[in-house]
Structure 1
Amino acid sequence: MTIPRTGPTKRSGPRLSDSTFAVLLVLPGTAMFVVIILYPLIASLTTGFFRQDLRFPGREFTGLSNFADVLDRDFWPTLNHTLVFTAGTTVAAFAIGFALALALNAGLRGSGFLRGLFLFPWVIPGVVTSFLWMWIFNANYGLLNGLLIKLNLMDESITWLGEPGTAMFAVIVTKTWASFPWMMVMMLAALQTVPNELYEAAAVDGAGMLRRFRSITWPGVRSIAMLALLLEFIWNFQHFDTIYVLTGGGPANATQTFAVAVYQNAFQGFDLGRASALGGLWMLLLLLLVGGYLFLSQREDRA
């Protein structure tokens, strides 16, 4: 018995064009972006033009008075604290991470184990890290005070987190400990892209260690280093959990950054208008940093 051959089955109904299909693929992500990010952002920026108390319903339009009040009182001290924290944590994390990357790239014995060990601070949640260092900096039973007194480097305990002169230092140390592994990984990956033949040729020519670093190592990793520094600067500029857990922005607002100030104005002072105005100015500064990042990225791509 011969089975008759049948031709290809024809599909019924209209077919979607490529552009329509692309729109359908993008639509869910766009809807989530609008609902989760764009609408709350616009609503928050709009609130900056109103006097609104979180404890009472309703709000009153005040124009630019919230922005003027923030610029007159809180903005510049908060900007100064934010820049000190951001610059300190970024530079310290880069210096430690780059030094460790150079050591690991040199082929030390047990470098694989050390690489995994140095990543340990990076995988710990930020709140856990903050509580760990809160115990280390404790004035009564902290590890740091006990160690310094035992080494006869000081006579009495220091309230590291309770004095304006030392609180920012303690916060920077804590954030640096949590951030340097990321810098180490980035710089180690960049170092491994530099050809060994260049170092061998430089050694034959009699170039010393510093000359090889200036002429070969740094030019080979400079682009990655600049981008890593800029990204770390942006992330630290908006960091919140470490500062809030350790000091809450104190003492005497000595560690109050933009992230902490916005939280305190909104959820402790209940002033949504003032918090939104401060957040809007903070966002403008972040946009400048992101613009710098995009500019450097495009320049590196063209190069």
Structure 2
Amino acid sequence: MQLTGIHHLTAISAKPRENLAFYTGLLGMRLVKKTVNQDDVSAYHLFYADGRANPGTDLTFFDFPAAPERRGANSISRTGLRVAGEKALGFWRDRLKAAGGVTGDVIEVDGRLTLPFEDGEGQRLVLVDDGGVDASSPWERSTVPAEHQIRGLGPIVLTVHDLPRTALVLTEVMNMRRVRDYAAHGAQIHVFAMGEAKDENNPATELHVLEDKASPMAGQGAGGVHHVAFRTPDEAQYHAWTQRLNELRVRNSGEIDRFYFRSLYFREPNGILFEIATDGPGFATDEPMETLGEKLALPPFLEPRRSAIEAGLKPIG
């Protein structure tokens, strides 16, 4: 039983209008679902992805009016976004610097070319050359040429106080493999991979973990990450993961139907929220693929409350 990679990552924005402009305008990602947080319907839940809304490409945001994140340990500290090739990274360096944001330089990290940058709220991101390891689904209406578009998520970087406790859960509970270590920015980073060994060196299947015993614990807020989700291909394996967590006495949410996928949440020992999510049914379940994200979508159990929900949301375009 193997997780197959990163499913989605959910972060926090206190400025949903600016968030929408940044991720669809500057980054050229597709808004594939405009819905609400199912646990707090006063907040948008925005999903940005590739042209076909494939699992593994979703960068999502909760619209919470929160103070800025306090950076520190026991948090998801950087989100990888995959692109294809050195030319793409050169395109993005020029595009991001022209926009005036916080942008670094193209450097090699862990044998891959990377470009770190931040969005307007300080969300820490990095573009990573994935070597074209997976097929891509460009969006024809993107502001970015197809060959340079963001292809998906990965790797995801965690910063934790206690590496051995996190490593134990990753390897003994979640069946990841510890595949290598590397040095970056004066620290040692440990790489854990999902899937079969033949799929190694695919950033879409990697979690990178940095141990930092000195920093205070992070405080969640705008510009920070809420949780990361991992892919399981079908409901049979999803149920098997629930059984596994219960047998190992890992506290979890129990199975939750999010309509677009099935979810199972738990916290690793340093407190970071993990989710296991199914690849399907997918975002085209209630909207045509051609018009995804163009109107507010609600799962069936929230549809009777549409008028009240819409009245409580601010228009964001």
TM-score for both structures, normalised by structure 1: 0.23
Greater Rg by CA:
1
Q: TM-score, normalising length from structure 2?
A: 0.22
Between Structure 1 and Structure 2, the one with more strand by share is 2
